[in-house]
A and B are shown apart, each in its own frame.
Chain A
Amino acid sequence: MSLALSGRDRSLLAGEEGPARALALRLVAGMAEVWGARGLIDIVSAHVDGCLFHGRSGLDFTERLLDDRARVVVPTTLNVGALDLLHPENVRRDAESTGLARRLMAAYESMGCRPIWTCAPYQAEQRPAFGEQIAWAESNAIVFANSVLGARTNRYGDFIDICAALTGRAPDAGLHRSENRRGRIVYRLDGVSERLLREEVLGAVLGYLVGEDCGSRVPVIVGLPPETEEDTLKALGAAAASSGAVALFHAVGVTPEAPDLETALHGEAPERVVRVGPAELRAARDRLATAEDGLLAVVALGSPHFSPAEFDRLLPLLERFPPHPDVELVVCTHRLVLAGLEAKGAAERLRRMGVRLVVDTCIVVTPILRSTTGALMTNSAKFAHYAPTNVGLGSVFGSLEECVRSAHLGRVWRDPDLWETS
Chain B
Amino acid sequence: MIELRAERVLVDGRAEGEVVVLERPLSLWGGLDVASGEVVDPRHPQKGAVLSTRVVALPVGRGSSSSSSILLEAVRLGTAPAALLTLEPDPILALGALVARELYDRCPVVAVLGGEAWAALATGQWATISVGGGLALASRRPLPEEPPA
- Residues in A lying within 8 Å of B, measured CB to CB: 23, 26-27, 30-31, 34-36, 49-50, 52, 54-58, 60-61, 64, 137-139, 142, 154-160, 215-216, 241-245, 287, 290, 364, 385-386, 388-390
Shortest beta-carbon distance from A291 to chain B in Å? 11
- Residues in B lying within 8 Å of A, measured CB to CB: 10, 25, 29-31, 34, 40-43, 60-70, 72-73, 75-77, 88-89, 91-92, 94-96, 98-99, 102-103
- Please name 19 further chain A to chain B contacts, defined as beta carbons within 8 Å, in addition to the given A56-B73, A158-B66, sorted by A numbering: A23-B102, A27-B102, A31-B95, A31-B98, A34-B95, A50-B69, A57-B75, A57-B103, A58-B72, A61-B72, A155-B92, A156-B65, A157-B65, A157-B95, A215-B25, A243-B62, A243-B63, A244-B63, A385-B30
Identify 8 residue pairs between A and B in the complex whose beta-carbon atoms are under 8 Å apart, listed by A's number.
A27-B99, A50-B69, A54-B29, A157-B64, A242-B64, A290-B43, A364-B30, A385-B30
Given contacts A386-B30, A389-B31, contact A34 B75 (CB under 8 A): no
Interface pairs A-B: 9 shortest CB-CB: A157-B65, A55-B73, A54-B69, A57-B76, A158-B69, A57-B72, A34-B94, A389-B30, A57-B73
A55 adjacent to B30 (CB under 8 Å): no
Shortest beta-carbon distance from A296 to chain B in Å? 19
B73 adjacent to A30 (CB under 8 Å): no
Which of chain A's residues have a CB closer than 8 A to the CB of B29? Answer: 54
Shortest beta-carbon distance from B30 to chain A in Å? 5
A-B Cβ contacts below 8 A, count: 120
A30 adjacent to B98 (CB under 8 Å): yes
Secondary structure dominating the interface of A: helix
Shortest beta-carbon distance from B25 to chain A in Å? 7
Which residue of chain A has the shortest Cβ distance to B60 in the bound complex? A215
B10 adjacent to A34 (CB under 8 Å): yes
Which residue of chain B has the shortest Cβ distance to A288 in the bound complex? B43
Which of chain B's residues have a CB closer than 8 A to the CB of A60? Answer: 76, 103
Which residue of chain A has the shortest Cβ distance to B64 in the bound complex? A139
Shortest beta-carbon distance from A25 to chain B in Å? 12
B42 adjacent to A388 (CB under 8 Å): yes
Shortest beta-carbon distance from A123 to chain B in Å? 19
A290 adjacent to B89 (CB under 8 Å): no
CA distance A34 to B111 in the complex (A): 10
Shortest beta-carbon distance from B64 to chain A in Å? 6
Shortest beta-carbon distance from A64 to chain B in Å? 7
Which residue of chain B has the shortest Cβ distance to A287 in the bound complex? B43
A245 adjacent to B95 (CB under 8 Å): no
Greatest chain B CB density within 10 A among A23, A64, A158 is at: A158
A54 adjacent to B66 (CB under 8 Å): yes
Which of chain A's residues have a CB closer than 8 A to the CB of B43? Answer: 287, 290, 388
Which of chain B's residues have a CB closer than 8 A to the CB of A61? Answer: 72, 99, 103
A242 adjacent to B63 (CB under 8 Å): yes
Which of chain B's residues have a CB closer than 8 A to the CB of A54? Answer: 29, 34, 66, 69-70, 73
B62 adjacent to A56 (CB under 8 Å): no
Given contacts A55-B34, A389-B41, contact A157 B63 (CB under 8 A): no
CA distance A240 to B112 in the complex (A): 24
